[in-house]
């Protein structure tokens, strides 16, 4: 008899299940990828390069980006361009979007992969809680600034790299910047990922009929450097303990490639995937009334 897990735990089984892969080509497709110099974003970049895509890397570190760009070009002979932006600064997000709109007449795929985790409460220069800004506000703004170009390029796909970490929640629209509550890293991270999921459903509704889809995915329990900005003890535990229980991030690249390229995903929108398996998120991330509230709050905070 097969054990039936409750909805809250089904992600455990999904993460261990056989995953889908795509053999579809991405030749001639223009793909914008944020956070493309490490972890999940880098694996997506490599897989899309193998598929023949024209790549636009959006990242903070120019030197690192140029090194990776050369490696990608040498190995897969595909166009790779670089746009520099720090997603903790919304003015840089706006500048990056404006540059892309100016230089690229079409965008076939937008992958928002930049993200961070902080064990301490940090506020950006604009007064936003740092993790909420990098993980939610910046990709929210970036996506909306590029949305008209995506519509003009339709069919097009938007992929928000989310996380099972949304299950930690922590989202409180009355204290979005954690000025009244005790901050913890898990709940701060959970708040950012919950907000992102809630706005995915809203955006999917707004895009209905446009032939532009938007989906979110958990990229698997994989080894990445997210959290390397934290103290030495956190970094030591991450690399010497946590990593022993995690998988190679190449599976993340394969999953993102499937969502970005496979014909089976054509027209699929407003869904959350655990790698390539359609999954039900936590109940609090499905609250559409809260989603509308967070959408309006995000619009106000980003000045859209």
Catalytic residues: 189
What is the DSSP annotation of 13-65? HHHHS---------TT-EEEEESTTSHHHHHHHHHHHHTT-EEEEEES-HHHH
10 is written with which tokens? Answer: 């089904």
CA angle 88, 213, 227 (to 5 degrees): 30
What is the DSSP annotation of 68-110? HHHHHHHHH---EEEEE--TT-HHHHHHHHHHHHHH-S--SEE
Give the whole-angstrom CA distance, residue 157 versus residue 112.
11
The answer to whether 34 and 59 are in contact (CB under 8 A) is yes
28 is written with which tokens? Answer: 């001639």
**Beta-bridge partner residues of 218:** 274
The phi and psi torsions of 64 (rounded to 5 degrees) equal -65, -40
């Amino acid at each position: 008899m097969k054990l039936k897990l409750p909805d809250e735990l089904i992600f455990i089984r999904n993460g261990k299940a056989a995953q889908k892969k795509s053999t579809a080509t991405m030749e001639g497709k223009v793909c914008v990828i944020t956070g493309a110099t490490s972890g999940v974003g880098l694996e997506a970049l490599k897989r899309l390069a193998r598929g023949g895509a024209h790549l636009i890397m959006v990242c903070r570190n120019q030197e690192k980006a140029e090194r990776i760009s050369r490696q990608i070009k040498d190995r897969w002979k595909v166009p790779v361009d670089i746009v520099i932006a720090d997603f903790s600064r919304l003015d840089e997000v706006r500048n990056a979007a404006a540059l892309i709109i100016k230089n690229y007449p079409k965008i076939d795929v937008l992958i928002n992969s930049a993200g961070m985790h902080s064990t301490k409460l940090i506020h950006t220069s604009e007064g936003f809680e740092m993790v909420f800004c990098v993980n939610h506000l910046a990709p929210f703004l970036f996506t909306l600034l590029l949305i008209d170009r995506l519509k003009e390029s339709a069919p097009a796909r938007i992929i928000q790299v989310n996380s099972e970490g949304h299950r930690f929640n922590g989202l409180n629209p009355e204290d979005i910047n954690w000025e009244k509550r005790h901050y913890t890293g898990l709940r701060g991270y959970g708040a950012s990922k919950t907000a992102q999921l809630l706005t995915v459903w809203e955006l999917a509704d707004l895009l209905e009929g446009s032939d532009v889809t938007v989906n979110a995915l958990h990229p698997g329990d994989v080894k990445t450097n997210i959290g390397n900005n934290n103290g030495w003890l956190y970094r030591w535990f991450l690399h010497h303990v946590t990593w022993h229980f995690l998988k190679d991030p190449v599976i993340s690249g394969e999953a993102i490639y499937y969502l970005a390229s496979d014909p089976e995903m054509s027209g699929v929108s407003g869904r959350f995937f655990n790698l390539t398996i359609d999954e039900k998120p936590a109940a609090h991330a499905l609250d559409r009334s809260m989603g509308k509230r967070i959408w309006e709050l995000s619009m106000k905070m980003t000045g859209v």
